[in-house]
Amino acid sequence: MISLEKLVRRNVWNMKPYSSARNEFHGEASVFLDANENPWNTAYNRYPDPLQIQLKERISKLKGVETSSIFLGNGSDEAIDLIFRAFCEPGMDCAIMIDPSYGMYEVCANLNNVECKKVLLNSNFDLDADKIIELDDNWTKVVFLCSPNNPTGNSLNRNEICKILDRFQGLVVIDEAYIDFSSQPSFLSELDKYPNLIVLQTLSKAWGAAAIRLGMAFASPEIIGVFNKIKYPYNVSKPSQEAALAVLENEKNMREELRVILYERARLEKALVEPPYMFKVYPSDANFLLVEVGNANNAYNYLVKQGIVVRNRNNVTMCRGCLRITVGTPEENKMILNALKSIPL
Ligand code: PMP
């Protein structure tokens, strides 16, 4: 059993949270003179619900997770930053992250003056739980796992993740930004079993709503309580809450787009390993492919000249020579396949 008190930053544990006007009053009223707003109704004159109850109820139904186990933020990036600010003492604590993986874990660690211990993935980009568990000590508060992993595209081995959840003394974050594209089940079903688990998801990928900026963290009500204690009072705007509700109403549309993306992913992968390309394509459980093209810098610049932007991952650990290519519309995928036929090597 984890002791949350031992994991939370001392100042955060001891502080009294800010209580906003809309936090303090919950009943029915017709005149609101409590929050120094402009009284004339413009649809935007009132502060939004600080705890986003209606949206959380919708997400709760969709995901089968209690609202008390849900935190919503300005993208999952907000949740990543909050994890450092809630649990890691600057200049003292450490965080473990896999390498290569999503860059924001390290950026947020640096921003918070928290040491990163990077654990190299093995040659097939998979996880060795023992390598992580052996780094566990009193100062290591959190490990970040990303599955499916960005930029490699693969899901991490579930048994290895469970081994870490069972044996690591701190918090285990599983970033599931790409879970909707995956053949593997989410770890949301394991929340009750593991009190040290935090699952991150987002509306930015499969749900097609990156502009809304809506990220989700799922964890025990105690961990979510810590996030709520330190978040900005009105961290998700009213337009974002409304737009998110509208997007979630249209699950059918998401499923249809997802079907096309998965079909196109397979088509792109198949084409790119065959002549005339003969590239190495890493197996993907996400909506992108990591493709070893040879001279990635040349290929990247050549594609830009054709008006096509991909992500050059040449300088990323274990990704030399690689481009990360997002699966686009069928027309866009045709365009990149055409452009890649004639890259100078
Ligand atoms: N996690 C991973 C693995 C990502 O790739 C990204 C976006 N590139 C994020 C989190 C951030 O997502 P959001 O838009 O929800 O902040």
Instruction: Determine the distance separating the centroid of ligand 1 and the alpha carbon of 164, expressed in angstroms.
Output: 22
What integer best gives the mean pLDDT of the chain?
96
Give one DSSP letter per residue of 83-141, joined into a string.
HHHHH--TTT-EEEEEES--THHHHHHHHTT-EEEEEE--TTS---HHHHHTT--TTEE
DSSP reduced 3-state for 203:
coil
Nearest ligand 1 atom, CA 210? 14
Instruction: Determine the distance separating the centroid of ligand 1 and the alpha carbon of 216, expressed in angstroms.
Output: 11
pLDDT of residue 173: 98
**Cβ–Cβ under 8 Å, residues 178 and 135:** no
Structure tokens at 91: 């200049």
Residue nearest to atom 1 of ligand 1 (CA): 177
Residue nearest to atom 16 of ligand 1 (CA): 75
Nearest ligand 1 atom, CA 215? 15
pLDDT of residue 343: 85
Q: What is the mean pLDDT of residues 272-282?
A: 97
Query: Which residue out of 78, 104, 125, 144 has the highest number of ligand 1 atoms within 8 Å of its CB and is therefore the one to mutate?
Result: 104
pLDDT of residue 1: 59
The whole model's pTM is what? 0.97
Query: Which residue out of 202, 203, 236 has the highest number of ligand 1 atoms within 8 Å of its CB and is therefore the one to mutate?
Result: 202
pLDDT of residue 184: 97
| Strand-pair partners of 323 | 291, 312
Q: Over the stretch 131-179, which tens digit does the pLDDT of each residue have?
A: 999 999 999 999 999 999 999 999 999 999 999 999 999 999 999 999 9
ipTM, 2 dp: 0.99
Instruction: Determine the distance separating the centroid of ligand 1 and the alpha carbon of 336, expressed in angstroms.
Output: 24
**Cβ–Cβ under 8 Å, residues 69 and 221:** yes
Rounded to whole angstroms, the Cα distance separating 17 from 6 reads: 19
Q: Over the stretch 39-77, which tens digit does the pLDDT of each residue have?
A: 999 899 999 999 999 999 999 999 999 999 999 999 999
Q: Over the stretch 303-329, which tens digit does the pLDDT of each residue have?
A: 999 999 999 999 999 999 999 999 999
pLDDT at 344 over 80: no
Is residue 345 very low, low, confident or very high in pLDDT (cuts 50, 70, 90)?
low
Q: What is the mean pLDDT of residues 30-36?
A: 95
* Residue 58 backbone dihedrals phi, psi, to 5 degrees: -65, -45
Instruction: Determine the distance separating the centroid of ligand 1 and the alpha carbon of 188, expressed in angstroms.
Output: 17
pLDDT of residue 229: 97
Burial (0-12, 13-18, 19+ Cβ within 10 Å), 33: exposed
Instruction: Determine the distance separating the centroid of ligand 1 and the alpha carbon of 76, expressed in angstroms.
Output: 6
pLDDT of residue 244: 98
Rounded to whole angstroms, the Cα distance separating 328 from 330 reads: 6
pLDDT at 282 over 70: yes
Provide residues with CB under 6 Å of ligand 1. Answer: 75-77, 102, 146, 150, 175, 177, 202, 204, 210, 215
Q: What is the mean pLDDT of residues 201-208?
A: 98
